[in-house]
Amino acid sequence: MLCRSLTSTAGEHTNTLFKSQSPSSASLPKIGTKLNHPASLPQPPHPHRTPMECLPVPPAMPCSALTRSRVRLPRVVRGIEPVTAPFEGRSKLEMKPVRKVLDDSVIEPVSVADFIERSKEIVRPDGGPARWFSPLEAGSRTAGSPLLLYLPGIDGTGLGLIQHHQRLGKMFDIWCLHIPVADRMPFEGLVEYVEKTAKTEHSHFPNKPIYLVGESLGACIALAVATRNPNIDFILILANPGTSFNNSQMESLLSILDVVPEPFHAAIPNLLKLLTGSPYMMTSGYVENQPFIPEVVKELSESLADALNYFSFLVNTFPKESLLWRLKMLKLASFFVNSRLHAIETQILILASGRDQLLPSRVEAERLCKALPNVRVRHFTDNSHTILLERGIDLVTIIKGAGYYRCSGNIDYVKDYRMPTPPEFQKAFQNYRWVDDLADPVMFSTLENGKMVRGLEGIPCEGPAVLVGYHMLMGFDLGSLVSRFLTEKNILLRGIAHPFMFNRASELLMPDSSSFDGMRLMGAVPASSINFYKLLLRKEFVLLFPGGAREALHRKGEQYKLFWPEQSEFVRMAAKFGATIIPFGAVGEDDILEVILDYNDLINIPYMDALHKRINMDDVRMRADYTGEVAHQELYLPGLLPKFPGRVYFLFGKPIETRGREAELRDRKKAYQLYMHVKSEVKNCISYLLEKREKDPYRNLLPRLLYKATHGFTAQVPTFQL
């Protein structure tokens, strides 16, 4: 009865939140009205633009129907049109668009001042209950996008994702929960309200996941909803969850706040932390990139002013009674969820701040990770309680990097993949930059007439294509390969990676749980014939190492030795799609690192033997049914000794066309012959580079540094003559 009365009255307050800017309620179409033409949409008075639209969710109204009937205004953000390649003699309309491999859409920056301005509108007392709103800048729902429900923390404004709305709107249909300051709906009522919305969505889209993004109190609501609805496919993104209330400073804050009269409650030190977290982290997003001191000082002063305005706004907006109510609700919510943790099997991603001075978020994340079977954690050492409002945090990047974005019941690493942004590209390869800086990789390719040239001119511009080569030690050459193809050829290589890099148990063994996020951001997929098939079907450029982990983690004295299986694994699949096969060789690992402890040494060490068994679990084993050198592909961490850096070389052989040879290569014998030819070409490339590098006067680091010192550090360092 409570939920029905709330939802039945919510519509009366929907259009009063932005009364000064929104069109009158009489001009809005009724829920369920079909809008056939954009011209029929009411427009706000010029030059104002309504910052968001607020919507009630009737229990009987499906989310899909409501989404279609929303009043939509023009989007705030527009992407950059695809770049067209110039061609003399053609009109602009005839120009062939260049392949777009990075998401370079314009994202308008959002500051704390924007948060305050929008919050002033949404927190105006209107007597209404909790309700959903959809941010205008997030755009309209696209086909196939899952629903994302944002559940706020103590403040209840629902604007905690304001910095992420634009990017999230490209991947989700976003609904944010607003809990008015004066609202006294109990925790159970909020859980039921969110639950009804989720059930309605699930009834219409049973094969799609529903994302619940919650922070502190909202995280407890999300966990409670998931506990009560195990049949719904939820994905929970929890930022500093409030499940650790009893072990936090909030318990003492609740006691103090109860006896301190208003307005002196604002002087409580922990209240500032509760409401604002870290004002510096929230307001100085652009300071670190300013090159001139005066601009830095100006930005810092503006940031400090924003922080003071933010705190003043929240203290004035949220009276003592409201804060007491929310804190008591959080205490109850924490107890409710902790008593039911055993029933949660939902997929969960926890964002834990290292400087959360109210909740022991880092410790709590580890506790939940051990207590729940399907939890992964991302740690943010320098962030505080209000992590989603702080600079340097991109929720879309976090979700994509953790492998948590999917549009159906199971993740499809090919279909669900979204293009990286330039910052994501920079982040993905920051751990590989030392190779470019110290080893100065040189790349050669082979033209169709057999001539070798420096650069990637011999690489075809159109896919599908399969780059087949030697896997250098620890795969440290991957960053140079992928980045060079992206910058020089506008080609995104999709790597076939070991399942270890996608496994939850593997993350628990790593010093940093986000160690493999960069590879997922750049499109790596778990090794399987199905994923290989899907990539070729989409005409992608696939990076394939038949030697796999056995080559990348070879033993002492096995440099540049190929460990390929006997079966022609990839040839017939490539021929089915007419893919171009490009063999390549790479050398230089022996000029940078040397293996001093290999697999045979480590398995004889008691502790390392136990670690080896944990790493090589059954669910990450590859080629377990094979025989010979490539069988099992045991994973281990070799002992390495760095050397005075030499140089890394790549040679891409002449492309091998399979287009038109599908019928011929169905024959296993013919396919095997081509397979052995490709292997022979890889060996030839390696042998050629090993011989030629001896004649490179800039093979060592010191001559390269001297050359750059005299010609400029952006100059291309010469190499041997082809």
pLDDT at 39: 33
CA 43, 45, 48, 51 torsion-angle sign: negative
392: pLDDT confidence band, cut at 50, 70 and 90? confident
Residue pair 19/50 in contact by the 8 Å Cβ criterion: no
| Average pLDDT score over the chain | 80
Tell me which of 43-57, 392-406, 493-507 is least confident: 43-57
Helix (H) or strand (E) holding 216: none
Q: In this predicted model, which residue has the larger pLDDT, 602 or 94?
A: 602
pLDDT at 527: 92
511: pLDDT confidence band, cut at 50, 70 and 90? confident
User: Which of 442, 441, 452 shows the shortest CA–CA distance to 653?
Assistant: 452
Tokens linked to 157 = 């404004």
DSSP state of 148: E
End-to-end CA distance of the chain: give it in Å, rounded. 82
Per-residue pLDDT for 633 more than 80? no
pLDDT at 87: 33
Beta bridge partners of 497: 526
Tell me which of 148-157, 223-232, 557-566, 620-629 is least confident: 620-629
pLDDT at 429: 87
Alpha-carbon separation of residue 339 from 243, 262, 307, 434, 691 (angstroms): 10, 34, 38, 48, 67
Per-residue pLDDT for 433 more than 70? yes
Query: How many Å apart are CA 699 and CA 648, to the nearest integer?
Result: 9
Tell me which of 18-32, 394-408, 494-508, 701-715 is least confident: 18-32
Q: Provide the percentage of residues in the chain whose pLDDT is more than 90.
A: 51
pLDDT digits (tens, 9 = 90+) for 686-696: 999 999 999 99
Per-residue pLDDT for 60 more than 70? no
What is the SS3 assignment for 538? coil
Contacts of 288 (CB under 8 A, 6+ apart): none
291 burial (CB, 10 Å; 0-12 / 13-18 / 19+) is exposed
Query: How many Å apart are CA 634 and CA 549, to the nearest integer?
Result: 7
Q: In this predicted model, which residue has the larger pLDDT, 612 or 7?
A: 612
pLDDT digits (tens, 9 = 90+) for 235-277: 999 999 999 988 887 777 777 776 666 665 555 655 555 555 5
Dihedral angle over CA of 479, 481, 484, 488, nearest 10: -150
**Average pLDDT score over residue span 16-24:** 31
pLDDT at 293: 52
pLDDT at 298: 52
568: pLDDT confidence band, cut at 50, 70 and 90? confident
Tell me which of 115-119, 641-645, 647-651 is least confident: 115-119
pLDDT at 389: 87
Per-residue pLDDT for 69 more than 90? no
pLDDT at 634: 77
Largest Cα separation within the chain, whole Å, is: 87
Residue 200 phi, psi dihedral angles, 5° rounding: -65, -45
Query: How many Å apart are CA 484 and CA 614, to the nearest integer?
Result: 35
- Secondary structure (DSSP) of 25-39: GGGSPPTTPPP--GG
Q: Where are the alpha helices (DSSP H) in 450-567?
A: 478-489, 504-509, 517-521, 529-537, 548-552
Q: In this predicted model, which residue has the larger pLDDT, 108 or 444?
A: 444
Beta bridge partners of 84: 97
Query: How many Å apart are CA 118 and CA 389, to the nearest integer?
Result: 14
DSSP state of 392: T
Per-residue pLDDT for 75 more than 80? no
CA 139 to chain CA centroid, Å, is 20
Alpha-carbon separation of residue 550 from 379, 543, 563 (angstroms): 32, 17, 7
Residue pair 347/236 in contact by the 8 Å Cβ criterion: yes
Residue pair 548/622 in contact by the 8 Å Cβ criterion: yes
pLDDT digits (tens, 9 = 90+) for 437-472: 899 999 999 999 999 999 999 999 998 999 999 999
Task: Look up tokens 């002033």; give the residue.
Answer: 120
Residue pair 163/388 in contact by the 8 Å Cβ criterion: yes
Contacts of 441 (CB under 8 A, 6+ apart): 435, 477, 480, 484, 588, 647, 648, 649, 650
pLDDT digits (tens, 9 = 90+) for 149-207: 999 998 899 999 999 999 999 999 999 999 998 899 999 999 999 999 999 999 999 99
pTM to 2 decimal places: 0.82
Per-residue pLDDT for 564 more than 50? yes
Contacts of 245 (CB under 8 A, 6+ apart): 251, 330, 331, 333, 334, 335, 359
pLDDT at 92: 37
pLDDT digits (tens, 9 = 90+) for 540-562: 999 999 998 889 999 998 999 99
486: pLDDT confidence band, cut at 50, 70 and 90? very high
**Average pLDDT score over residue span 8-18:** 33
Per-residue pLDDT for 348 more than 70? yes
pLDDT at 111: 76
pLDDT at 100: 76
Q: In this predicted model, which residue has the larger pLDDT, 611 or 301?
A: 611
Residue pair 408/498 in contact by the 8 Å Cβ criterion: no
**Average pLDDT score over residue span 667-676:** 93
Task: Look up tokens 């059930």; give the residue.
Answer: 199
pLDDT at 322: 84
Query: How many Å apart are CA 491 and CA 442, to the nearest integer?
Result: 18
288: pLDDT confidence band, cut at 50, 70 and 90? very low
pLDDT at 244: 92
**Average pLDDT score over residue span 112-129:** 81
